[in-house]
């Protein structure tokens, strides 16, 4: 799911398509957290970090319905939601286990979901 697609549709006054009933959960990670994690992983020297794969996430698993309510709160606009058929193969829940990144190079997501949404909305409003 592309969160940016939701925000652009809301900005432009279009409906937002939600696949299924919106009870599926997703996790969102703000770009600043991804950059910080990438730099930390690239410069890590501990045995817990070298040559290992890591999940990077935002620590904010949320239902699509709750996400859209939060988007409405952040933007001051009521999203116009159109439910469509669930996508074949779509998983009901996603989230990242960041425990290896935490141990390997001290990763912790820092940007809360509402803060990241507000930053994106401000950026889109100026675009």
Question: Which residues is 93 bridged to in the sheet?
Answer: 25
Q: Quote the CA–CA distance of 101 and 57 in Å, as a whole number.
A: 10
Count the domains in the chain.
1
Range of the domain at 17: 3-126
**pLDDT score of 36:** 97
Strands (E), 4-113: 16-19, 25-26, 62-63, 81-84
Q: What is the DSSP letter of 93?
A: B
- Dump pLDDT digits (tens) for 79-98: 999 999 999 999 999 999 99
CATH code, domain with 45? 3.40.50.720
Q: Are 115 and 59 in contact (CB under 8 A)?
A: no
- Dump pLDDT digits (tens) for 18-58: 999 999 999 999 999 999 999 999 999 999 899 999 999 99
């Amino acid at each position: 799911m592309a969160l940016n697609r939701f925000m652009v549709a809301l900005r432009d006054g279009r409906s937002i398509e939600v696949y299924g009933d919106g009870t599926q959960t997703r996790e969102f990670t703000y770009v600043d957290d991804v950059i910080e994690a990438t730099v930390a992983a690239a410069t890590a020297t501990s045995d817990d970090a070298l040559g290992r794969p890591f999940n990077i996430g935002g620590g904010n698993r949320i239902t699509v319905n709750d996400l859209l309510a939060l988007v409405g709160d952040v933007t001051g606009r009521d999203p116009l939601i159109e439910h469509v058929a669930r996508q074949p193969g779509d998983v009901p829940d996603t989230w990242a286990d960041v425990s290896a990144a935490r141990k390997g190079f001290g990763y912790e997501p820092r940007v809360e979901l509402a803060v990241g949404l507000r930053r994106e909305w401000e950026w889109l409003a100026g675009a």
